[in-house]
Structure 1
Amino acid sequence: MKRNSSGISSAEQTPDASVIHRRKFLASLGLGVTAAAVLASCDKDDDNDNQAPAGFIDLGRGDVGILNYAFALEQLEAAFYTRVIASQYSGITPAEVALLTDIRDHEVAHREFFKTALGSNAIPGLEVNFAAIDFSSRTSVLNTAKAFEDLGVSAYNGAGKLIQSADYLLLAGKIVSVEARHAAYIRDLLSNGTFADNTAVDMNGLDLVKAPPAVLDVAKSFLVSKLWAGNLPTS
């Protein structure tokens, strides 16, 4: 893969293929209609009872807040995988490049859907903090990817019961299944056969669940931006 002096690959400079890929991905989810529905129903909510502390980004209330919560996580994942492909770790194989690029494109597609769907209700672009990640190290990159994917799956699972709209719940179910595919692949890259071990799946054969506060507590170490979930639904 050719790179310019800034270290950005030619594939990243020419986004046509990935844009087409994302469009196909969104079409496969049936998001043309869903996005319009989200835009129509996500009216600006100006009657929040709770005010975010100074310097914090308020995710919002109700389903809008949950969509912003998902949008924040997708921003984080998209930024991470974009960096992984732009600064590939030592010894990366062609197969790993291909599949990690697919994951990047999925996360970017998720991010862009939420951004478009939320419209004026969307939180701003987040500033990430990847200082603790050694992007030249396969172990560092894949362990971080595992943490992000496991976190994403547990986050969507935990947010499902908080979603009021059946359309949004269907959308979340479609996305979490993709995130679980990512998690399984990354886990097997690290240690073959661990795709669904007892650190990811409980004794009932169910994925683990985390509530938004627990998820954001983990995510904050990778963010400069500060998120506030004080107006998210809790039940």
Structure 2
Amino acid sequence: MKNLEKQEQELLQEERSVFTAPLQRRSFLQFAGAGAAGVALVAAGCKKDRGDLMTSTGVTLDFKDDFGILNYAYALEQLEAAFYVQVVKTPYASMPANELALLTDIRDHEVAHREFFKNALSTAAIGSLEVNFSKIDFSSRASVLGTAKAFEDLGVSAYNGAGKMIKSVDYLLLAGKIVSVEARHAALIRDLLENGTFANTEVVAASTGLDTSRTPAAVLAIAGGFIKTEVKAINL
């Protein structure tokens, strides 16, 4: 981790929002170069135009193919990235230095995930979503961490629920790598709220030892409360 005082100064001096700043090409390739799957996704994305995904009122996620599922993941990563960017930009009252460092790490991961999907999907990507965080009190630790817990748990359950719908084994591998990071985030946030709750029965079934999963319809119904852009799902 960076020296925290230096990190705080850098955050104060930022002139460009992390929300709109793209990853450097090298960083993106390191993330996507996780193998040929990343290159294949970029190449395939260029063959599909996103015009049929955008409407005058919002965004349509067409689950008839892998692109719909990947755009679904991209939409959720946009939401999470926007949330953590705001958390780090306006830390809650008396935020401890260690919590700022941890939340900054999570922000960087979520921005990397968002930019990965945006760059990899290319012209097949949906547009930027407008978020609605009016329900969140960013000055309150309880509100911020409670929302973080909800978002992380939702993200893990979303990947778990959509995994079976992915046809390409390469894309499934990439989704698995991302959901494992999201699960680490969820465990950390849970322990910041209450030590030892990282894998309680709210998220892991005692009888099977398996994490929870949600269908895209259920996930979008929950996430919709924090997204201004209308998100429609078809061919579920």
TM interval, shorter chain, is 0.7 to 0.9
Q: Do residues 219 (structure 1) and 219 (structure 2) align?
A: no
Write out per-residue CA displacement over residues 148-198 of structure 1, whole angstroms, 9 at most, x where no aligned residue: 000000000001000000110000000000000000000000000000000
Q: Cα distance, 1:10 vs. partner?
A: 2.6
Distance 1:85 1:186 in 2: 15
Within-5 A mapping of 1:1-235 = 1-2=8-9, 9-10=12-13, 13=16, 19=23, 27=30, 30-31=33-34, 33-42=36-45, 43-44=47-48, 55-60=57-62, 61-203=64-206, 204-231=208-235, 234=236
Distance 1:12 1:92 in 2: 23
The range that moved more, 28-37 or 69-78, is 28-37
Distance 2:42 2:17 in 1: 29
AA aligned opposite 1:215: V
Alpha carbons of 1:53 and 1:120: their partners in 2 closer, same or farther (altered >3 Å)?
Answer: closer
Identity of aligned residues (%): 58
TM superposition score normalised by structure 1? 0.86
Distance 1:97 1:13 in 2: 20
| Maintained 8 Å contact 2:61/2:231 | yes
Alpha carbons of 1:93 and 1:25: their partners in 2 closer, same or farther (altered >3 Å)?
Answer: farther
Alpha carbons of 1:13 and 1:169: their partners in 2 closer, same or farther (altered >3 Å)?
Answer: same
Distance 1:53 1:148 in 2: 26
| Maintained 8 Å contact 1:26/1:109 | no
Q: Cα distance, 1:45 vs. partner?
A: 6.6
TM superposition score normalised by structure 2? 0.86
Give the match's secondary structure for 2:59: strand
Match of 2:5 in 1: none
Q: Cα distance, 1:31 vs. partner?
A: 3.7
| Maintained 8 Å contact 1:149/1:180 | yes
Distance 2:94 2:184 in 1: 23
> In the comparison of the two structures, how many residue pairs are matched?
222
Give the match's secondary structure for 1:161: helix
Match of 2:4 in 1: none
Distance 1:159 1:87 in 2: 33
Write out per-residue CA displacement over residues 38-66 of structure 1, whole angstroms, 9 at most, x where no aligned residue: 022233279x8xx9886231123310000
Give the match's secondary structure for 2:234: coil
In structure 1, the gaps of 5 or more residues are none
AA aligned opposite 2:173: L
AA aligned opposite 2:199: A
Alpha carbons of 1:137 and 1:222: their partners in 2 closer, same or farther (altered >3 Å)?
Answer: same
